[in-house]
Amino acid sequence: MNSPAPLPVIRLKTDRTPGHPWVWSAQVHKPETRVPPGSVVDVQDAKGRFVGRGFWNGHARIALRLLTSDPAETIDAEWIAARIDRAVTLRKNLLELDRVSDAWRVVHSEGDGLSGLVVDRYADILVIEYFAAGMWRFREAIHAALLRHFPGARLYWFAESHVQKQESFDCRSPEAPAPAEVHEHGLRFHAAPGYGHKTGFFADQRENRHHFARLARGRRVLDLCCNAGGFAVHALAAGAQSATGVDMDPGILEIARANAAANDVPAVFEAADIFDWLRGAIARGEQYDAVILDPAKLTRDRNKVVDALKKYFAMNRLALDVIPPGGLLLTCSCTGLVSEADFLEMLRRVALNAGREIQVLHTAGAGADHPFRSDVPEGRYLKAVFCRVM
């Protein structure tokens, strides 16, 4: 039996073991002969010692995605399938997510040891997002492994255009599947993959929606950057006095209204820029004693983190002016480059500027179906800070 051909070798510029599965292009010696993007390679340190095995991409800023440090492990279709098996077992057997929802993350990239791959489940639809040429090369094995766990599922896959350009691969998505109805803590929502909003539903806030709804009983709720209206619907179903959602995208608000109707709750949704809307509400003297602020990601560029924090400051500062003493604020950031410490410091400055006391009740993140590795803090992208404003 012939032994497998040796893998291409990529040499690091240092003899220190990387403390992160991402290795940047400036940290490696480019190979003398071309190695196609997404190839599996062996990685050695500057002294020629084995470091690990993973995906190579000489065109990308992340030149190496380390997948294993075990020289006995072969990165092939069976290895990919075994990692997917492990990810599904976590969600189904340990977390028992099916007891509360049929909308959850199946694979969370580095958090499940599958760098460059994210899979979300929405009832019978599996949405597969590719971030790396290496994972795209294994797409047939990925799809087959997923269908073993979810027989009959409809698969929809995509990669954002900037990712395809940076990673040098061509991902052609199939026709978008018909929207699905999903369930979360006994409520009904619409998920519409491929219709301009990835899914029209964000499962990462599942437990935060549920927790906020309990706190909002009897209160007037304002859901800013409401997207598909999940917080507003949960709050009304739990006994909130009223709920208004604001988002600047009229299309997503149609889904929000459908979600409210599906649960027979009287949420009101308005299409507007939240800055303009809040200034108008302040001028009218309106007050809301439970406010959610959950904007979209503000930057992917490390050089623009300060600008993102300034924008978080501005929107949180405005929000305080519609919250009466004793009111609640749930303020969120899904900008992975903004740390929890920086986000809390921004809130401290907001309180100082407003002359208000912000009492932090609880800090949270994405649900447990979005695990992150201790050496990959970027995986903990979502910050959710539950506050009382005095």
Shared domain check, 89 and 35 = no
Shared domain check, 350 and 211 = yes
Shared domain check, 277 and 237 = yes
Residue 27: which CATH number? 2.30.130.10
Reported as a pLDDT band with limits 50, 70 and 90, residue 367 is very high
Tens digit of each residue's pLDDT (9 = 90 or more) over 294-347: 999 999 888 999 999 999 999 999 999 999 999 999 999 999 999 999 999 999
Q: What is the DSSP letter of 91?
A: I
What is the sign of the dihedral through the CA atoms of 218, 222, 223 and 229?
positive
Residue 31 domain-assigned (yes or no): yes
Tens digit of each residue's pLDDT (9 = 90 or more) over 255-296: 999 999 999 999 999 999 999 999 999 999 999 999 999 999
Shared domain check, 236 and 307 = yes
- Residue range of the domain that includes 59: 9-68
Residue 50 domain-assigned (yes or no): yes
Give strand pairing partners of 54. 41, 66
Shared domain check, 377 and 356 = yes
Shared domain check, 367 and 270 = yes
Phi then psi for residue 137, to 5 deg, are -65, -30
Residue 140: which CATH number? 3.30.750.80
Reported as a pLDDT band with limits 50, 70 and 90, residue 1 is very low
H/E run at residue 347: helix 340-354
Report the distance separating Cα 96 and Cα 89, nearest Å: 9
**What pLDDT score was predicted for residue 377?**
85
Residue 383: which CATH number? 3.40.50.150
DSSP string, 106-172: EEEGGGGT-TTEEEEEETTEEEEEE--HHHHHTHHHHHHHHHHHSTTPEEEEE--HHHHHHHT----
Q: Is 290 helix (H, G, I), strand (E, B) or coil?
A: strand
Report the distance separating Cα 130 and Cα 115, nearest Å: 9
Q: Which of 31, 51, 68 is the last residue of a domain?
A: 68
Residue 373 domain-assigned (yes or no): yes
Q: How many CB atoms lie within 10 A of CB 323?
A: 23
Task: Please state the domain count of the chain.
Answer: 3
Shared domain check, 64 and 84 = no
Shared domain check, 332 and 210 = yes
pTM score > 0.85 for this model?
yes
Place of tokens 């709920």: 243
Q: Helix 77-89 and helix 139-149: axis angle, to 10°? A: 40
Residue 312 domain-assigned (yes or no): yes
What is the sign of the dihedral through the CA atoms of 328, 334, 339 and 342?
negative
Give strand pairing partners of 157. 128
Say what percent of the chain tops pLDDT 90. Answer: 89
Single-letter code of the amino acid located at 361: L
